[in-house]
Chain A
Amino acid sequence: MIIKGRAHKFGDDINTDDIISAKYLVTIDPVELGKKCMESIAPDFTKQAAKGDIIAAGKNFGCGSSREHAPLSIKGLGISCVIASSFARIFYRNAINTGLPILEIAQADEIKGGDELEIDLTDGIIKNITQGKTYKSDGLPEFMQRIVVSGGLMQWIRSRTSV
């Protein structure tokens, strides 16, 4: 699967309160949550982000609370993929489970806001069209790939057990 979009740049340790503030956790509607995505740290982000755009961030993206509303708000806004140098573990699980594509690359810091990116999710290749660079992500461990290929955790569970 190929994703094309413009990068929006965020720093290190972007926590789930940054992604979606707790005061908005009174709904589970991704579109509603998406309207408030990154509100406190980047108030204009929801206006600037176009459907299919990409978040690029530093280390430990998604640290903090376990709220699945965080990846849902990113998806609800129409963001197609998050690239970071590392992800906090609960966010990582939540992204896999909810079907938000995420990629870990050491060179995430090289990506600048506004860069045009083309991502091949199958082989984890990220082309930075603006900078003329190519990065390779290790991709997901085989076990997690099976969950993603099934269409998310619940589908994978269903393929294993009779509900």
Chain B
Amino acid sequence: MAYTITEKILLKHAPGKQDIHPGEFIWAKIDLTLANDITAPLAIEEFRKAGAKKVFDAKKMVLVPDHFTPAKDLKSANQAKLLADFAREQGIKNYFEIGQMGIEHALLPELGLIHPGDLIIGADSHTCTYGALGAFSTGMGSTDIAASWITGFTWLRVPQTLKFIYKGKLKKWVGGKDLILYTIGDIGVDGALYKAMEFSGPVIEKLGMDSRLSLCNMAIEAGGKSGIIAPDEVTFEYIRAARCRLQAAGNKTRSLQPEARSKLKSDSDAQYAEIKEYDVSDLEPQVACPHLPSNVKGVSQLKDVKVDQVVIGSCTNGRISDLRVAAKVMKGKKVKSNLRVIVIPATQNVYKQAIKEGLLELFAKAGCVISTSTCGPCLGGHCGLLADGETAIATTNRNFFGRMGSPKSFVYLSNPAVAAASAVTGRITHPDEIR
């Protein structure tokens, strides 16, 4: 039987099953579960209502208060406290207060918690990010997560896989964010509904891990159940570096399973729902226009769009490589007058690294404000909402109607280089224009 990488991971996690087929329901064993300060309170409520006392395995649970923290108001403070109390009660070590915290989908890979071949579920739609490390990971609601806390299992319908092959050589300023925006622009916001998205080809093989994480992060924006990239040397080097960092800090690291090092990949004769090939050699930076991530245009078509705010951050593009590229564009430049530019390093570790490399000083001198790690403005939570009639360009993942604040505001999505260039000019700008 020939399998895709997704089918292989699911089969390995379905005890008693000898084979597996798209469309069938399986009862799957979980390696890691995740919830945040919005979704965990509901999950905790469901856990208690079910009469459960102990979670199945505290080591396989992660709780990250990242959406409305530092607490934006009293209600969100009380919600975040529920997580802290639950973590203490259940002995969950992977609970992170601000200061250690980061945006969940940047934090977990950085902490070496994600390994190739894992099966991960999270009460957050962008849980699909971890496919960048060769894991099967998917977002669910709070009740699903609560059920998994009790049983250590979840039900899954085995998805069909859509395979994407990217060929050619990427231009300067073009990365994972542009590949995924281009892809969503092509297939639409439900183009991968219920399906696994497998990203492959020579362009992907050359892509760094931060760019791969951006790419897989937005699989959900095409309706995908998961996004995945077969693990390779880039993956193993990323995990090795994470483990070294943790060991140097005197922290225990998760033991690496042998399969996490193996060349886990799809069989050459695996069955796909569809295979799409793109030659991306001529691709310019992509921008998703209001109000859908599929409303995608090349950046050069949007140079007349003026912006009131720029956001550089989020689980999509708040990692160190993202800040480096934004800094490269802004070096020696100033933020355009009457423009707000908010830079949000995705994790405390990214924040510290950005200090060390002088990036935060560069941003501050240019006239940006720098926030502690938070999802904040991405979902219109806090730390930078838009007023009536305002427009933002953001490195975030959703530009839905009213997503970043007022229902009368407009959000454009781009990569960090375009956002940084736009911060300098006050309108949507190709980085080549100023560098």
The 7 closest A-B pairs by CB, nearest first: A26-B75, A68-B141, A94-B141, A40-B407, A60-B190, A97-B143, A22-B379
Q: How large is the interface on B (under 10, 10 to 19, 20 to 34, 35 or more residues)?
A: 35 or more
In chain B, what residue has the closest Cβ to A25?
B38
CB contact between A141 and one of B25, B140, B146, B147 (< 8 Å): that residue: B25
Contacts of A59 in B (CB 8 A): 190
Distance between Cα atoms of A18 and B154 in the complex (Å): 28
Count the A-B residue pairs with Cβ separation under 8 angstroms: how many? Answer: 132
| Contact A26/B380 with A63-B190, A163-B51 known, Cβ cut-off 8 Å | no
Q: Closest Cβ of chain A: how far from B340's Cβ, in Å?
A: 19
Can you list 19 contacts pairing A with B, beta carbon distance less than 8 Å? Answer: A13-B189, A18-B401, A22-B380, A25-B38, A26-B68, A28-B42, A41-B402, A64-B400, A66-B39, A66-B124, A66-B141, A67-B39, A88-B193, A89-B225, A94-B144, A153-B144, A154-B46, A158-B50, A163-B150
Shortest beta-carbon distance, B7 to chain A, in Å? 17
Docked-complex contact A161 and B150, CB < 8 angstroms: yes
**Counting CB contacts under 8 A, is B187 at the interface?**
no
Are A89's CB and B194's CB within 8 A? yes
Shortest CB–CB separation between residue B403 and chain A, in angstroms?
5
- Interface members, chain A 70-128 (any B CB < 8 Å): 72, 86, 88-90, 93-94, 97-98
Please report the C-alpha to C-alpha distance between residue A50 and residue B125 in the assembled complex, in whole angstroms: 31
Interface residues on A, range: 35 or more
Which of chain A's residues has its CB closest to B146's CB? A154
Q: Which of B67, B225, B400 contacts A18, CB < 8 Å?
A: B400
Given A22-B380, A26-B76, A94-B143: A143 in contact with B401 (beta carbons within 8 A): no
Check if A97 sits within 8 Å of B75, measured CB to CB: no
| Contact pick for A40, options B42, B45, B155, B401, CB 8 Å | B401
Does B262 touch A at the CB level, under 8 Å?
no
Q: When chains A and B are docked, how far (Å) is the Cα of A42 from the Cα of B46?
A: 30
A46 at the interface (CB under 8 A from B): no
Asked whether B123 is an interface residue with its Cβ less than 8 Å from the other chain, the reply is yes
In the complex, which residues of chain A have a beta carbon less than 8 angstroms from the beta carbon of B139? 66, 90
Is B142 engaged at the interface, CB distance under 8 Å to the other chain?
Answer: yes
Contact B141 A93 (CB under 8 A): yes
Closest to A156 in B: B147
Are A157 and B151 touching (Cβ within 8 A)? yes
Residue of B nearest to A147 (CB): B155
